[in-house]
Amino acid sequence: MIMLVDGYNLLHNLPECTYDLKHDLEATRDYLIGKLSRYASDYDVEVRVIFDAHYTNHLKTSIKKQVGIRIVYTKTDETADNYIINWIKKYHQGKYIEVITSDQGLSRAVKQLGVTTRKTIEFDDTCSQSNSVLGQKRKLGSAILNSEPLLGDRIGKSAFNDLKELKRKLEGK
């Protein structure tokens, strides 16, 4: 699975970051990157966090790699939303992709492309319940402790992707 994170949208919605975001943007970003890196390791997910850099004079997109994640800073005049939508259009073929955002416009746009979304508060709840302290790998979809396993836990990735494709076809997308 590939998870695309609307970076600043998530930061603005994490209660523990709101004060720091106003006073030390770089440290707050680093905090989020660490949190996402642990999540990627715990859930064995490829994570890409996208930060708007459209108010800067970056001529091209820059991508940095850190343990388990890729950190993307968009180029001048490109929003994280546009980057995410264009990335999905280019790389979506047969891949299970989830976008983490509370931006309703972005959520609608990526759902039309056949991608699932999760609100930032739901994602934060999942991170809070992570078992990284216990050193256990978590399965996709098993975010809620002591709950019934989700469909993604009970069937293989290939079957899960086939079902998603069937759903898209039935919905006429």
DSSP letter assigned to residue 22:
H
| Rounded CA separation 141/8 (Å) | 24
Is 172 part of a structural domain of the chain?
no
Is 67 part of a structural domain of the chain?
yes
DSSP, residue by residue, 109-125? HHHHTT-EEE-HHHHHH
Is 69 part of a structural domain of the chain?
yes
Output the furthest CA–CA distance in the chain (Å, rounded). Answer: 49
Calculate mean pLDDT across residues 58-84. 84
Give the residue, 68 or 112, on which the prediction is more confident.
112
The total number of structural domains in the chain stands at 1
pLDDT in tens, 102-115: 999 999 999 999 99
Is 32 part of a structural domain of the chain?
yes
Q: What is the pLDDT of residue 89?
A: 94
**Can you give the CATH number for the domain in which 58 is found?**
3.40.50
| Rounded CA separation 140/152 (Å) | 7
Q: What are the CB-based long-range contacts (under 8 Å, 24+) for 105-111?
A: 105/81, 106/6, 106/9, 106/81, 109/81, 109/85, 110/84, 110/85
Is 33 part of a structural domain of the chain?
yes
Is 53 part of a structural domain of the chain?
yes
Range of the domain at 70: 2-136
Is 162 part of a structural domain of the chain?
no
Record the pTM. 0.72
